[in-house]
Chains A and B, each alone.
Chain A
Amino acid sequence: MKAAVIVFPGSNRERDLARALRLATGASPTMLWHAETALPAGTDLVCLPGGFSYGDYLRCGAIAARLPIMAAVRAHGEGGGLVLGICNGFQILCEAGLLPGVLVRNRGLAFLCRDVHLKVERSDTPFTRAYNAGDVIRVPVAHGEGNYTADAETLARLESEGRVLFRYVDPSGARDERANVNGAANAIAGVLNARGNVLGMMPHPENAIEPGHGSTDGLGLFRSLADALEAVT
């Protein structure tokens, strides 16, 4: 499997993401500086890491979404290649139009870093095949603008097409507004594109992969990707 992590100016979780990929696949991803215009040949998976690209001084992800490298990411996604955006990466994917909706300020108006519980809604995707549908996993969030929102029609479509992959729930797996840490519509923590090969999510599975993190539940996502790509090649 060949993975590339795009490093934007202001990205800051690229090392965390690289560690998770290394742990799950045994191989280090290519760290691609944003000024490049093409992906390395043979790239299977493109990752957009967390951080504050361009300082988030405009809307989060808005400037990064318009860089030349994003044309290559879009083409990769349109060709069926896998794309994973976490946190700022999710914001960039939304701003670039690869995913519907937008991330606005948390309901509490403050940055929030804490462990949350997520329900894995489906296991038949390349991102979640190592989980079982309905699994509840514990991973941290660390964001100020992770409140997912979209118009009612889009939300209805996401739900009916099974494109909500992760949802904020309580430890038992039940929907509870108190567990919806940022106030996201339908408690959405992660969504897929229509084709199912592009995932954006706010929580950080890459920070829950080793016993020292207090949870290893996030590793399943990276194992899933390794498995899925193994199966293809």
Chain B
Amino acid sequence: MIPNDTPITPELIAEHGLKPDEYQRLVDLIGRTPTLTELGIVSAMWNEHCSYKSSRIHLRTLPTKAPWVIQGPGENAGVIDIGDGDAVVFKMESHNHPSYIEPYQGAATGVGGILRDVFTMGARPIAMLNALRFGAPGHPKTRHLVSGVVHGIGGYGNAFGVPTVGGEVNFHHAYDGNCLVNAMAVGLARSDAIFYAKATAPGLPIVYLGSKTGRDGIHGATMASAEFGEGTEEKRPTVQVGDPFAEKLLLEACLEIMAADCVIAIQDMGAAGLTCSAVEMGAKGDLGVEIDLDAVPCREADMTPYEMMLSESQERMLMVLRPEKETEAAAIFRKYGLDFAVVGRTTDTLRFVVRFRGEVYADLPIKELGDEAPVYDRPWRRKERARIVIPRHVPAPASLGAALKTLIACPDLASRRWVWEQYDHVILGNTVQKPGGDAAVVRVHDGSKALALTCDVTPRYCEADPIMGGRQAVAEAWRNLTAVGATPLAITDNLNFGSPERPEIMGQLVGAIKGIAEACRALDFPVVSGNVSLYNETNGRAILPTPAIGGVGVIPDWTRMATLAFTAEGEEIVLIGATVGWLGQSLYLREIEGREDGAPPPIDLIAEKRNGDFVRALIRNGRVTACHDCSDGGLLVAVAEMAMASGIGARLDAEPRGQPAHAAWFGEDQGRYVVTAPREAAEAILDEARAMAVPAARLGTTGGAELTLSGEEPILVRELKDLHEGWLPAFMAGEL
């Protein structure tokens, strides 16, 4: 008989985040009232964070296959083949709710969690990126959150010893009550030595490795599956505390036992800790699991089975070892001073059984807990199409130069140097393109091959039109990889939305996934891993829909990659891609006109691919001297960024025709790149583009110390740079 000394009341069920029908489903499954431990386990497995119950049926529509995909979604991370026996293992994951409650530890453990996902699969992490969204700069919590999150990411990544090479930061009042912290880890493994969570046979011992289990993070995943309201700060005890030192030891120990061929199955303890990792190991292998809690290394005395099963203490792993290799593995664990213990075994019963001090505390069917958890087809509503903003209906600025100065110093376009200088971005000695470019480039095995990495999404586009916004996020990631000369290979997606129980939010999710799927198909850019974070709302106010896309591409020879800085004076500046002057949802509209409206720029996926393939070929053949994609802020901002990165000015005497100047220079038309080349080479590029029906036009010439537009006062590049670099440090110093 299972001891059941805590009455299971409707209040207790609600506190566990289980809906009445979900509770009934549990009772029907086991034919009796659950124990408190069982209630905790089920709530941990069936919450949104672990089960993807609201998003699963839609996620199935995403393209996940390509000849180079070794492992798609469903494992700890996605795996792609980059040739020569090498594989890239990567994933992006959110730590939004904990980061809002306790920014340093929330962000730090977000980094720790995603690093574990990658090295659990046998890969050595080689780079990190992050996508951060904060509330309006004027909101009283924003500075505190930016400071805590950046310190937390740096504190963990720097100590662990992986370079943080890229990412993005946005500010918008929709994130006032819910910041977003999405961290992406990228690792390198041998393609024939990838490790999985699936246990393979009954009767094998399950080994616990790493830090001891404490009372931190209990119910973290459940907390992350509910919206915020009054008293959010009281949830601080649900946030875990990170120990990058322990994680570094865990990394080295795991890679060493993997190299020694000791491991059959391995799973990190992340959300929902021991519960989730043990259930997944069994469920994926169609096996049962028995856990003996007396053997679990505990940090605190008198921990209950409920606490041990739900603790989210960090830096822990669960694994199935080859029985004949146990002694060898134990020696390696001891070398690194890590705790380890046999805490259970696999069975052939398909039950998840938890024992403590001779008694059974849980006995549940494992498949229904894990891969057969509930799935919902929630009602959703499509947003009405926003109207198109007609360029000539938008007033021209007093001067284009003044508008440019405002834009390049606005919170969403100002330099992020203050952030990335707090991240060690050069450790491991392979960062060959540092933060600040279109994509970071990290060399592989000290050779000529390199990976290009980026994180992208434009939430304001997604809010206005989720399908187009979803497409744009993928297209921009693809474009950023292309702009450094990489072949885009695959993405990881981190879908951040409000409450799926509201049809309009569910409509955003469904729309964004549709847009992502369309772009992935058209660009041959499959999704190999991802994470869904819902309930990002406070008192009924949701964040902007934010499907962050992490893209990975490969460059055969990084010495031929492109960078965005102008490289010489007297070169021609050429725009690739068509300009209609799309001002709807542009930063120009927001920062200069104080409006956030209109339909976002459309993404023509055929033109996107054609233009990108054209530009990539130019880069690969060494025919351009600089390349930068056009995105937030439009064409003039892109050119200014190339000038600021180099200190070389430009004379822009051939603006795009057919629309008002401010629409041409600040419109956010998609699928565009700015490249530079010596005069003759530029002419050849223009001829070739014409022949291939790729829109291309000369914009002007590089040179001097100023940016000059016809009919405008010249602007010193130095002055632009001071404005661009100045905003974030001044804001963080409390000077604004």
Contacts and interface: CB of A to CB of B under 8 A. Distances in A.
Q: Do A and B bind each other?
A: yes
Interface of A: 9-10, 12-13, 15-16, 19, 33, 35, 50-52, 54-57, 110-114, 140, 142, 144, 204, 206-207, 209-214
A33 B256 CA distance: 14
Interface stretch (B72-80, B243-251, B703-711): B243-251
Contacts of B248: 9-10, 12, 52
B337 A13 contact: no
Nearest to B425: A113
Contact of A12 (B159, B425, B430, B434): B159
A50 to B, nearest CB: 8
B245 A207 contact: no
Nearest to A22: B446
A110 B417 CA distance: 13
Contacts of A13: 161, 427
A52 B434 CA distance: 23
A142 B249 contact: no
Contacts of A35: 335
A67 to B, nearest CB: 13
B702 to A, nearest CB: 21
A207 B443 CA distance: 13
Contacts of B426: 113, 140, 142, 204, 207, 213
Contacts of A12: 159-161, 248, 427
B304 interface: no
Interface residues of B, number: 33
B384 to A, nearest CB: 46
B727 interface: no
B429 A51 contact: no
Interface in B512-554: none
Interface string B422-459: 11111111101010000000010010000000000000
B427 A16 contact: yes
Interface string B145-159: 000000100110011
Contacts of A210: 429
Contacts of A15: 428-429
A15 B155 CA distance: 20
B333 interface: no
Interface string B317-355: 000000000000000000111000000000000000000
A48 B430 CA distance: 21
Contacts of A33: 335
B441 to A, nearest CB: 9
B424 A10 contact: no
A52 B422 contact: no
A10 B155 CA distance: 13
Nearest to A114: B421
B119 interface: no
Contacts of A204: 426
A54 to B, nearest CB: 7
Contacts of B566: none
B46 interface: no
B558 interface: yes
B450 to A, nearest CB: 9
Contact of A16 (B245, B336, B428, B434): B428
Nearest to A208: B426
A33 B253 CA distance: 13
B422 to A, nearest CB: 5
A54 B422 contact: no
Contacts of A144: 158
A190 B213 CA distance: 42
B379 to A, nearest CB: 47
B245 A54 contact: yes
* A interface, over-half SS: mixed
A15 B662 CA distance: 51
B429 A52 contact: no
A213 B427 CA distance: 11
B722 to A, nearest CB: 14
Nearest to B154: A111
Contacts of B151: 110-111
A25 to B, nearest CB: 16
B446 to A, nearest CB: 7
User: Which interface residue of B336, B427, B443 has the most chain A CB atoms within 10 A?
Assistant: B427
A55 B429 contact: no
Nearest to B147: A110
A220 B446 CA distance: 20
User: Which interface residue of A10, A56, A204 has the most chain B CB atoms within 10 A?
Assistant: A10
B422 A207 contact: no
28 contacts: A9-B249, A9-B337, A10-B159, A12-B161, A15-B428, A16-B428, A19-B446, A33-B335, A52-B161, A54-B245, A55-B159, A56-B159, A57-B245, A110-B154, A113-B420, A113-B421, A113-B424, A114-B421, A142-B158, A142-B424, A142-B426, A142-B427, A144-B158, A206-B429, A207-B427, A209-B429, A212-B432, A213-B426
Interface in B229-273: 243-246, 248-249
B422 A111 contact: yes
A66 B154 CA distance: 27
Contacts of B559: 211-212
Given A16-B428, A16-B429, A142-B426, A111 B158 contact: yes
Contacts of B159: 10, 12, 51-52, 55-56
B647 to A, nearest CB: 13
B443 A212 contact: yes
Nearest to B450: A212
A41 to B, nearest CB: 23
B244 A52 contact: yes
A191 to B, nearest CB: 23
Given A12-B427, A16-B428, A16-B429, A113 B335 contact: no
B652 to A, nearest CB: 29
Contact of A51 (B155, B161, B337): B161
Nearest to B159: A52
Contacts of A112: 421-422
Nearest to A14: B161
Contacts of B423: 111, 113
A213 B429 contact: yes
Contact of B243 (A55, A111, A211): A55
Contacts of A113: 158, 420-426
Q: Ordered nearest first, which 7 A-B pairs have the shortest CB separation?
A: A12-B161, A55-B245, A212-B432, A52-B159, A142-B424, A16-B429, A207-B426
Contacts of A207: 426-427, 429
A214 B432 CA distance: 8
A12 to B, nearest CB: 3
User: Which interface residue of B155, B335, B422, B426 has the most chain A CB atoms within 10 A?
Assistant: B426
Given A55-B243, A142-B158, A212-B443, A9 B424 contact: no
Contacts of B427: 12-13, 16, 50, 142, 207
Nearest to A15: B428
A142 B157 CA distance: 12
User: Which interface residue of B243, B337, B446 has the most chain A CB atoms within 10 A?
Assistant: B446
Contacts of A50: 427
Contacts of B443: 212
A50 B424 CA distance: 12
